């Protein structure tokens, strides 16, 4: 009898899970995989980004609680389980020079302090696969960069019985992936698809920035999971984060039927693997399925 496969996706803030790999998670849920999303922070220092809700005093009065409810609705849309890691949002510093990060926030925690609850959770949930962000955070938000650090630390330390004592029985996840949802190739494909439809493209400015000399290098896409049939679930999760996502914004600029023809996959970079696998892959559990036996 096959053991149930388990996937853990580690994110910085509520709403990140819905914009990065969400359709893949919905697909795996439907295929019987146990999927757990971990939010490292509560998004406490975020703003109301949806222009339709800006200026509403009731929303702005208790935005953290509103975001918790939005996260619950997004989790229900995707069918996943969810866990708050319990750290406080660091905010996105602005200015020149940049101001210091707030005292006690997630990004200023010592690595072992920030990683300890995730190590414990990995040992409890026992994921076969973990997903998170690359060393640049996907984009340079301090919480995203810290999320990368704690995810790598948990992946490497959770199976070591000499580390994080009293944090549960050791468990070694088998694969770690970084999300590559915003590759230049994918954004260019969508940009050209919109222009071919006679529509304006919101990706033009983004692509110009990507072509600048100081832009970070492109990530290697090793794994592409077909998400045709699960894009609507992703969109429902995105819309659940009503304070963060404009329902008329660029996330929804391309009809899903066009996306299915233009770029029908969620994309990932295999960062660590303790199993043999042949690249490129079309499954995050490639090399694991035959091993997951009881």
Binding-site residue set? 13, 16, 144
Handedness of CA 251, 256, 258, 263 (dihedral sign): positive
CA distances in angstroms from 234 to 25, 68, 76, 97, 250, listed in the order given: 9, 18, 11, 38, 14
Residues comprising the binding site for Zn(2+)? 13, 16, 144
Q: What angle do CA 97, 103, 109 make, to 5 degrees?
A: 100
Can you tell me the distance from the alpha carbon of 207 to that of 141, in angstroms, rounded to the nearest whole number? 20
> Which structure tokens are listed for 183?
């590759």
Cβ of 149: how many Cβ atoms within 10 Å? Answer: 18
Query: Are 52 and 187 contacting, i.e. CB atoms less than 8 angstroms apart?
Result: no
- What distance in Å separates the CA atoms of residue 261 and residue 196, rounded to the nearest whole number? 13
Contact 235, 252 (CB under 8 A): yes
């Amino acid at each position: 009898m096959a053991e149930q496969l388990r996937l853990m996706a580690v994110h910085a803030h509520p709403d990140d899970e819905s914009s990065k790999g969400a359709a893949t998670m919905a697909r795996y849920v439907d295929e019987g995989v146990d999927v757990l999303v971990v939010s490292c922070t509560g998004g406490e220092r975020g703003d109301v980004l949806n222009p339709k809700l800006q200026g509403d005093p009731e929303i702005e009065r208790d935005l953290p609680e509103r975001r918790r409810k939005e996260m619950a609705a997004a989790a229900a849309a995707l069918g996943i389980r969810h866990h708050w890691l319990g750290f406080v949002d660091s905010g996105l510093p602005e200015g020149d020079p940049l101001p210091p990060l707030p005292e006690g926030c997630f990004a200023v925690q010592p690595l072992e302090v920030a990683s300890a609850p995730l190590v414990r959770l990995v040992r409890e949930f026992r994921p076969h696969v973990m997903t998170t962000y690359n060393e640049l955070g996907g984009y340079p938000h301090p919480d995203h960069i810290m999320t990368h650090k704690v995810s790598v630390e948990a992946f490497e330390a959770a199976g070591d019985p000499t580390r994080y004592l009293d944090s549960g029985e050791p468990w070694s996840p088998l694969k770690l992936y970084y999300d590559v949802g915003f590759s230049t190739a994918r954004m260019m494909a969508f940009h050209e698809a919109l222009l071919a439809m006679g529509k304006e493209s919101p990706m033009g400015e983004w692509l110009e920035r990507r072509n600048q000399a100081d832009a970070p290098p492109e990530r290697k896409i090793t794994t592409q999971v077909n998400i045709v049939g699960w894009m609507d679930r992703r969109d429902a999760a995105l819309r659940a984060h009503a304070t963060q996502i404009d329902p008329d914004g660029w996330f929804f600029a391309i009809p899903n039927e066009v996306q299915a023809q233009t770029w029908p996959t969620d994309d990932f970079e295999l960062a660590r693997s303790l199993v043999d696998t042949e690249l490129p892959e079309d499954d995050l559990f490639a090399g694991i399925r035959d091993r997951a036996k009881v």
